[in-house]
Chain A
Amino acid sequence: GQQVMQIPQYQHVQEGEDFTTYCNSSTTLSNIQWYKQRPGGHPVFLIQLVKSGEVKKQKRLTFQFGEAKKNSSLHITATQTTDVGTYFCAGVMMVGGGKLIFGQGTELSVKP
């Protein structure tokens, strides 16, 4: 079936280090969305990417969508303790009725 794979599953960094999580889809995506879930919380929408090769920035966060619209990445520059949580990518397939397929998530821990 349609799948969205996300790596790594866990990432432990020292505060100030950079962090990247990668997302790959088995099929072409209509768009890809990123969500953040704090420990004990619910997923919160961060951003959506629609265009091939698109790059968007939110302060220290940089989001990229691949040229083939099958992969994406989230890069955080100079992590802070407030970045702790699980980051999920979620793809909307070109064929599939518009529902989201979530990656397994990357859990980020930041050591002060």
Chain B
Amino acid sequence: DAEITQSPRHKITETGRQVTLACHQTWNHNNMFWYRQDLGHGLRLIHYSYGVHDTNKGEVSDGYSVSRSNTEDLPLTLESAASSQTSVYFCASGTTYEQYFGPGTRLTVT
């Protein structure tokens, strides 16, 4: 069965370190998305991609970057982790009408 996976599921890192969160989907979707979820803010879009080599900034993209070298993967990099980036991160793939979410990565920046 097709699926979308994220790794790691939990991560603790220190302020200033570079961190990469992995996202892998086997749905063969062109569209992939990264969201962060914080209490009181719902899901906010960080970056998204509509295909290989395509990346776009979402509403909260500062301090994050993505790259899309193939259809299956969209890794999210925190260039220099900050405490404000402590959050739960969800990757999703899908179409304009439906998105499938990964299980999430809980990131703590100390």
Interface contact B43-A99, CB-CB below 8 Å: no
Which residues of A sit under 8 angstroms from B97, Cβ to Cβ?
31, 33, 48, 50, 92
| Complex-state Cα separation, A79 to B58, whole angstroms | 35
Task: Say yes or no: B104 contacts A42, CB within 8 Å.
Answer: yes
Main SS at interface, chain A: strand
Does more than half of chain B's interface fall in helix, strand or loop, or is it mixed? strand
B99→A42 contact, CB < 8 A: no
Least CB distance, A109 to chain B, in whole angstroms: 16
A112 on the interface (CB 8 Å rule)? no
Nearest CB of B to A7, in Å? 12
Q: Cβ of A39 < 8 Å from any Cβ of B?
A: no
Q: Which residue of A lies closest to B31 (CB)?
A: A98
The size of the chain B interface, using a CB distance under 8 A, is 26
Is A22 on the interface with B (CB-CB < 8 A)?
A: no
How many Å lie between the Cα of A35 and that of B50 in the bound state?
Answer: 21
Which of B40, B99, B100, B103 contacts A100 (CB under 8 A)?
B99
Contact assessment for A43 and B98 in the assembled complex, using a CB-CB cutoff below 8 Å: no
| Residues of A with C-beta under 8 A to B50 | 97-98
Q: Is B59 engaged at the interface, CB distance under 8 Å to the other chain?
A: yes
- Chain A CB within 8 A of B96 CB: yes
* Known interface pairs A30-B96, A97-B56, A99-B58; A42-B42 also in contact (CB < 8 Å): no
| A contact residues vs B (CB 8 Å cutoff) | 1, 6, 30-31, 33, 35, 41-45, 48, 50, 88, 90, 92, 97-105
